[in-house]
Structure 1
Amino acid sequence: MWKNNNWHTYDEASDTAIIFVHGFFSNSHSCWTNKKAKTFWPDLVVEDLRIPRVSIYLGGYYTNVDSGLLGVRECSDQLFDALRRRSQIGDASPITFPKLIFVCHSLGGIVVRYMLESYREHFTSHKIGVALMASPSIGSDYADTFAKIASFYKNRVGKQLRMNSELLADLDGRFKVFVESREHGTFMGVEAVEHVGFLHLRWLPGFKPIVLEQSASRYFSGRRIVPDTNHSTIVKPGDLDHGGHSILVDFLNNKFFPAVGEPVITEKKIPPIKSENHSFKLTVGQGPLFDIYDETCEPYYLERKIDKQIAVEFSLNSFWLYGASGTGKTSIVKRLLGGAGAKAVEMCFSQCTNSDYRQAFIAEMIETLHLSDKDAESMPDRTFNNLKRIILDGVGANKFLFIYIDEVPSTGDQDGAEKHLLLLIEELLTAVKQLAKTNAFRLVVSSLKKPNLDSSQNLSKLSGYMRFIECERWAEDELAALIDLITDNLDMVGSDDLPDNLISSSHGSPRFIKTFLKSKISYPDKSDAELISISSQGFQF
């Protein structure tokens, strides 16, 4: 079996690495191989005398029809870890090269964009080029078409690739901010668009490309349509004249190298970037600027009144936490569940957007619970009775079961997703309470808006099972305490270095505060006004 994440061509004398990152349901070999011509794109890059001397790395992540709960975030983590890892024979890791060029096909472009934005501190000193080859930046209609297949196999990435999914919409905004925040001449890219659908017959039109132009051309000027290519052949050149290869050659020679300089060839090995440097520890996964909470973040977590309130409620009841994006709902819940000492199953409902919301929710819950049970056999039918049975089995024998539902779609209409989820939860809690004769089951829901309780069948009974709690925007004293906590644990920024209007500009969002601090560390030459403007993008105040 072909292995991802290895050097194709390692040149210790060059300061430039081209990193090929494959797409959906693919790997570092099949993605770039033209079987008919018996060519491999990285081989052509080495052979082409128009491309200066560089190292070439074949980056990747696990993607298969049964990849299950692995999503874009997990794929980007796999790739990032690989880029920091030395080879088994001692070759330097790709991230030690000052100039990095990512050639990304399809999903690979989303994974790379997510990685670059999430781990921005690790790429501050690099000169970076990105070639997005048929990458569905805002999703693909085909992912919508095959949503049932993705759902059957519980393929999270397949669901996240749907047009304008919540994850892609959020990443789209954050990546634009990232691009705009980079110093001039340190980040550039090109976007290539496929020309035809997989089945292309001149006399039989109608098969559209998998990734449409509006999704494949989002961030860089001068997008290129590659004639007579489909979603697969755009990255499988048979010779040096292939359109996809020509776009890469032109990007390197006309844009990237003129901006950052030709690859420097030295006789000495490039000294690796020291990961011990304090700025490299400030990733979203750890340290005072963490994004998503885990137990390593506890020293940097500011406990507030709402944390104590929810802990008390959780000891007695299920709860529904609602509030604006960026107010810390996810971290509150993850911290609570992490310390609960029982099985917690996390579910994402952002892809449950078809008209039959109830059935979509039931299917998502059954599939996720089934995959979380290592002893489970065949997937049961997606029915309410089966969902009820799985939960009852989960709380049997004096066991606890906690279900966390995140990213509830906000439809805004009276007969929308929130109403159907509320009714389903009401029915489910009532049934489990009556049949289990135990208080060992909890449902935790997180959403942007408060559900309309008028749709409840029996509000007095529901209120006895579930509490509805608003996660309000942070008060000024809370934000000030958060800033003190963060800056006390940073060597690079002190509270005296921050602008007086930082708290007022945040509009009660701790995420805004952290975004500003990350930007200040990454781009010390920018003014506070510029950093506030950059940090504000993507927020809806």
Structure 2
Amino acid sequence: RYFGKAKLIAGTDHSSIVKPENEDSQSHKALWGFIERNDFCKIKLTSSSAKTDDSKEDVLFDLYTPNQENFYLHRDVDQIVLNKFRLSGLWICGPSGVGKTAIIQRLLFKNGVDFQYISLGTSINENIQQMFTSIAYDLDENVIINESERISVILNNIELIIRDKCKSDSFVLFIEEIPISDHCAFKEFSQCIYSILVKLKEIKNFKLVLSSIFEPDSLVGTEFEKISDNFSIFSLGYWNKEDLIELDNIINRHLNIDNLPNVDIELIEGSPRKLKSHYRESLDILKARS
């Protein structure tokens, strides 16, 4: 399994594999060479550049890249989010499967924003201190944080790292996959985020973007209200029927496959993810029959 930073796998003395940043990463080259040397594949391995262009999976993408632009449905909410981002940092919240990650990734890619991405998806069952320690290490692998360190010290480390990154250029940080299902714990997490933003209030070339299912508490009437001018919270809801029908038309047009069963939009429940899952299941059935 890939993690953002190497970690010991529970119950073993083995470390996880660090996800390569690109094909030139040493971890990518080492893994590639290991596979080739041990003949795990009977066919000759080819680089990612040899993948077929415009594949059907591109139409049903989960993670947006510029290659998927033709398959992305631009909605009014995209412009709203862009306008907010131009003015401030942003926390997008909403139910799973409504495209929070895609809308952020597209915004950043299309506007040529160089950003650092941090997923907390591997921090399941970690406490708040451990999560923010993970954030600190993702920002700077050389940072030194003692085990069971106080949260205030961890947040100070994160502040200093971000300040250093902003000395020479603008810095955008995108954090998502926050694995918290408890409202009290989420409130504590959001207050820590707000504390960092208060510390960095005068840094004009830094923006923080987050995505979560839970909605953080409003800044209004709190000690953190002072950051409301440069940080906003936006709730993303389920898609309406008209937008889902339009996305369905885009998918159908690009797949261009006969005998695909029609979609009952009512059963999709406002989720583009569910719509794409329907098509994947239909394609798997057709493939099994052929």
Within 2, Cα distance between the matches of 1:406 and 1:388?
A: 19
- Residue 428 of structure 1 deviates from its aligned partner by 1.3
Determine if the alignment matches structure 1 residue 441 to structure 2 residue 241: no
Of residues 196, 200, 206 in structure 2, which corresponds to 1:428? 196
Deviation for aligned residue 1:452? 2.7
Distance in 2 of aligned mates of 1:369 and 1:385: 13
Partner of 1:282: 56
* TM-score when normalising by structure 1: 0.42
Quote how far apart the aligned CAs of 1:338 are. Answer: 2.0
Corresponding residue to 2:253 among 458, 464, 488? 488
Q: CA 1:481–1:400 in structure 2 vs 1: closer, same or farther (change >3 Å)?
A: same
Q: Are positions 1:503 and 2:268 aligned together?
A: no
Alignment correspondent of 1:391: 162
Matches within 5 A, 1:358-373: 359-371=129-141
Identity among equivalent positions (%) equals: 22
Choose between structure 1 and 2 for higher RCO, CA contacts under 8 A separated by at least 6 residues: 2
Q: In the superposition, relative to structure 1, how do residues 454 and 464 fare at CA in structure 2: closer, same or farther (>3 Å)?
A: closer
- Mapped pair 1:462 → 2:227: yes
Which residue number in structure 1 is paired with residue 285 of structure 2? Answer: 523
SS at match of 2:237: coil
Residue 408 of structure 1 aligns with an amino acid whose one-letter code is: I
State the secondary structure of the residue aligned to 1:345: strand
The structure number with the bigger radius of gyration is 1
SS at match of 1:508: coil
Q: Does 1:380 align with 2:144?
A: yes
Distance 1:457 1:66, change over 3 A: same
Partners of 2:261 and 2:282 within 8 A in 1: no
In structure 2, the CA distance between the partners of 1:467 and 1:455, relative to structure 1 (3 Å rule), is closer
- Asked if 1 retains the 8 angstrom alpha-carbon contact of 2:176 and 2:212, the reply is yes
Q: Which amino acid aligns with 2:43?
A: S
Asked if residue 293 in structure 1 is aligned to residue 38 in structure 2, the reply is: no
Is 1:321–1:329's contact at 8 Å kept on the other side of the alignment? yes
C-alpha contact (below 8 Å) 2:8/2:16 kept by paired residues: no
Give the aligned partner of residue 75 of structure 2.
Answer: 304
Where do 5+ consecutive residues of structure 2 fail to align?
1-6, 22-27, 46-50, 146-152
1:323 to 94, 99, 103: 94
- In 2, the alpha carbon distance for the partners of 1:421 and 1:380 equals 21
**Superposition deviation, residue 493 in structure 1:** 4.5
Deviation, structure 1 residue 300: 0.9
Deviation (angstroms), 1:509: 0.6
Instruction: Tell me the distance in 1 between the aligned counterparts of 2:160 and 2:53.
Output: 52
Matching residue within 84, 93, 98 for 1:313: 84
Q: How does 1:90-109 map to 2 (within 5 A)?
A: 92-93=42-43
What is aligned with 2:4? Answer: none
Closer/same/farther in 2, CA of residues 390 and 525 from structure 1, 3 Å limit:
closer
CA displacement 1:293-325 (0-9 Å, x = unmatched): 111111111111111111111111111111111
1:477 partnered with 2:242: yes
**Number of equivalenced pairs:** 256
**After superposition, where does 1:337-352 map in structure 2 within 5 Å?**
337-350=108-121, 351=123
What code does the residue aligned with 1:93 have? I
- Provide the rounded CA distance (Å) in 1 between the counterparts of 2:42 and 2:124: 44
Query: For residues 30-109 of structure 1, what are the structure 2 equivalents within 5 Å?
Result: 65=15, 67-69=17-19, 92-93=42-43
Select 2:177's aligned residue among 400, 407, 414.
Answer: 407
Aligned to 1:118: none
In 1, Cα distance between the equivalents of 2:53 and 2:100?
31
Q: Calculate the aligned-residue CA RMSD, in Å.
A: 3.6
Given the superposition, is the C-alpha separation of residues 393 and 504 from structure 1 closer, same or farther in structure 2, using an over 3 Å criterion? same
| Cα contact 1:342–1:400 (8 A) shared by 2 | no
- Distance in 2, Cα, partners of 1:301 & 1:344: 21
TM-score, with structure 2 as normaliser = 0.75
- CA–CA distance in 2 between the matches of 1:456 and 1:70? 44
